[in-house]
Amino acid sequence: MENEVSCVGFFKDQSSDAAKAFLEAAAAEESINFGITSEDALFKSSNVEADSVVVFKQFDDKRVDLKEGITADAIADLLDANRLPLVIYFSQDNADQIFGGEVKNHLLMFMKKSSDQHDAAVEAMRTVAAANKNKVLFVFINLDEEDNVRILEFFGLTVEDAPTYRLIHLEDDMEKFKPDSNDVTVDKLTEFVTAFLDGNLKPFLMSEDVPADWDKNPVKVLVGKNFAEVALDEKKNVFVEFYAPWCGHCKQLAPIWDELAEKFKDSADIVIAKMDSTANEVEDVSVQSFPTLKYFPAGGKDVVDYNGDRTLEGFTKFLESGGVDGAGPSEEEDAAEADAEGHDEL
């Protein structure tokens, strides 16, 4: 994305209020090149007749002019609206611009750039993106690139599911929305985006099928489809490990978790369970690192986060105290704390 966007101020009087506002905006912006001129020849060659700010782009409509209301804030808004193409090809270089920007709604298209559908799909995306500018970012994730294939895992998808798309909303937690069709047309994309913006879609939650032997062993296996039935049973106190199969700390915890379940297997009101959070999601349960340990007390009381010692003794004290001894703060740990405490980041 480097040098794909530049911003030039055309001012006959560079001491004017508008020119000062331009310089103020330039001083606050790090990722875009700025220039200023009062030369008649440059005004003429750039088709500028009066004092203006022009954003030149190497994509889409190539340029945008701001001719009136030139303030530092107006220039900043202009840049925010034009620093990225209508359809953005995801890469590690632009990931921060995409996911760290002001627009928190993103339509992610999963497709191979080599696909016969590529050109038509991108054109459809560009049309719908133009109609929803500053509301939704349209991001093309090229599955020809091996590094991008891993992104599919966060949506429970495989390469065989492509081409397909999802809409995400980024705030404290990421909400995912699934279309009712994989057709990449202007009509279908418009219908999907409009329903989302109008608040008529429910977040999509991944879930595996309930294993036939989910309750065979002392550690009960939870998935999205049986989570509420088991974990939110008002007659049970349910202690759940939310894990990832690749998580080293989860693997270290596994034998201790098995011991704990064995110890309480005959309890009338305590259940020890685990859920693979890379393949299952549940509403109102935030998992930002692995393992995350949460206690769902009987009677529908508030969920308790466990942040005590990950030992059989520590877990036992916690359960026997009714979820008090070892309870931790509900706010998420930052990455440094998570690592120090033995968590793997999501």
The per-residue pLDDT for range 26-52, each reduced to its tens digit, is: 999 988 999 999 999 999 999 999 999
> pLDDT value at position 172?
72
Q: From CA 209, how far away is CA 226, in angstroms rounded? A: 9
Which among 69, 75, 72 has a CA at the least distance from the CA of 55? Answer: 75
Domains of the chain are 5-82 (3.40.30.10), 87-197 (3.40.30.10), 219-345 (3.40.30.10)
Q: From CA 211, how far away is CA 217, in angstroms rounded? A: 12
Q: Which residues is 139 bridged to in the sheet?
A: 88, 108
Q: From CA 316, how far away is CA 271, in angstroms rounded? A: 12
Q: From CA 305, how far away is CA 323, in angstroms rounded? A: 9
Q: From CA 177, how far away is CA 164, in angstroms rounded? A: 12
Q: From CA 277, how far away is CA 267, in angstroms rounded? A: 26
Measuring CA to CA, how many Å separate 138 from each of 109, 125, 210, 294?
A: 8, 7, 34, 36
Instruction: Give the per-residue SS3 of 109-126.
Output: EEECCCCCCHHHHHHHHH
> pLDDT value at position 336?
36
Which among 343, 217, 236 has a CA at the least distance from the CA of 274? Answer: 217
Yes or no: say if 33 and 6 are a contact pair by the CB < 8 Å rule. yes
> pLDDT value at position 229?
96
Main-chain phi, psi angles of 302, to 5 degrees: -60, 140
Q: From CA 195, how far away is CA 183, in angstroms rounded? A: 16
Yes or no: say if 69 and 96 are a contact pair by the CB < 8 Å rule. no
Yes or no: say if 116 and 168 are a contact pair by the CB < 8 Å rule. no
> pLDDT value at position 283?
87
Given a cut of 50, the residues of the chain with pLDDT beneath it are 1, 330-341
> pLDDT value at position 35?
97
Chain-centroid distance, C-alpha 4 = 25
Per-residue buried b or exposed e for 326-344, using 16+ beta carbons within 10 Å of the residue's own CB:
bbeeeebbeeeebeeeebb
What does pTM read for this prediction? Answer: 0.73
Strands 270-276, 219-222: pairing kind:
parallel
> pLDDT value at position 346?
53
Number of residues that this document lists for the chain: 346
